[in-house]
Amino acid sequence: MNETESEGEGERANLFPLREIPTAPGIIGYVNVPINTSDVRAFKKEMGKLMDDPLGVSERLDEFLGTSIYSYEDLTAILRSLFNTEEREMIRQAGIREWERRNPQSTPGDQKWPSQDPRWNAQTEEGRRSMIDMRNIIIQGIREAVPRGQNLSKVFGECQGKDETPQNGWKG
């Protein structure tokens, strides 16, 4: 496997986002409903490259995940399918940093996105809130993972041709 490939490309992970279901009159429970891992692999082809378009990647992943609530295991499996180790670490560091910047008096970022499965309980409001927070930290981490100057090569790649006048070369 080369560095640009994601880990787990060939493995068949079962992903189960949470869905609300009535369990008794007036009582809502949460159950895991499987999603198709081939959908994740197909999405990877449409997603684009993190280093080229972090904002676009974050918007597409946000849309792909939709309003479902994903467990820690599911979120980490999705990240393993979509990003290589270096990208995942960049996303995690950026997401935690951004969480702590926006929420200085709140739970530390490394508890909101722990490195080990925290076994959040999907049947409690606190557990679901933690899952939602981690999902949002991931999306924000993708937005912030690539330093702004990373795409300058694209800007400087546009040069005036030798036979172009400055006015003809300008495409603005």
What CATH number should be reported for the domain holding residue 53? 1.10.375.10
Which pLDDT score is estimated for 26?
Answer: 76
Whether residue 120 is contained in a domain is answered as: yes
User: Whole-angstrom Cα distance, residue 121 to residue 33?
Assistant: 16
Q: For residue 37, give its domain range.
A: 18-151
User: Is residue 168, in this structure, part of any structural domain at all?
Assistant: no
Tokens at 71, concatenated: 């467990």
Residue 167 lies in a domain: no
Q: What angle do CA 17, 145, 87 make, to 5 degrees?
A: 70
pLDDT reported for residue 141: 97
* Domain tally, the chain: 1
pTM: 0.69
Output the pLDDT for position 2.
Answer: 39
Per-residue pLDDT of the chain (172 residues; tens, 9 = 90+): 433 444 444 333 445 565 666 666 777 766 666 667 788 888 898 899 999 999 999 999 999 998 888 999 999 999 999 999 999 999 999 999 999 999 999 999 999 999 999 999 988 999 999 999 999 999 999 999 988 655 544 544 555 556 666 555 555 4
> Which pair of tokens denotes residue 2?
């080369």
pLDDT for res 166: 57
Decide if 140 contacts 98 (C-beta within 8 A): yes
In-domain check, residue 13: no
Question: Does 11 map to a domain?
Answer: no
Which pLDDT score is estimated for 20?
66
Does any domain span residue 34? yes
